[in-house]
Structure 1
Amino acid sequence: MLSSVLRTRMATSLVARRGFSTTRPQLSSPYHYKEGPRSNIPFNPLTKFFFLRYWGFMVTGFGAPFAIAAWQTYKTR
Structure 2
Amino acid sequence: MNAATALRARMATSFVARRGFSTTRSQLASPYHYAEGPRSNLPFNPLTKFFFFRYWAFMITGFGAPFAIAGMSSIILMKVPSVGLTVFFPLVWQTYKSR
Please report the TM-score for the alignment, with normalisation by the length of structure 1.
0.64
Q: Which 4+ stretches in 1 moved above 4 angstroms?
A: 62-65
Give 1:51 deviation, angstroms: 1.0
- The alignment covers a number of residue pairs equal to 75
The alignment-based identity, stated in percent, is: 74
Please report the TM-score for the alignment, with normalisation by the length of structure 2.
0.54
- Tell me the SS of whatever aligns to 2:24: coil
Ranges in structure 1 where 5+ consecutive residues have no aligned partner: none
Ranges in structure 2 where 5+ consecutive residues have no aligned partner: 79-91, 93-99
Larger-gyration structure (1/2) = 2
Change (3 A) 1:11 1:61: farther
Measured against aligned partners, the alpha-carbon deviations of 1:40-65 in whole angstroms (never above 9, x if no partner) come to 21101112221122123233434555
2:36 aligned with 1:35: yes
2:30 aligned with 1:25: no
Give 1:19 deviation, angstroms: 0.8
RMSD between superposed Cα atoms in Å: 3.0
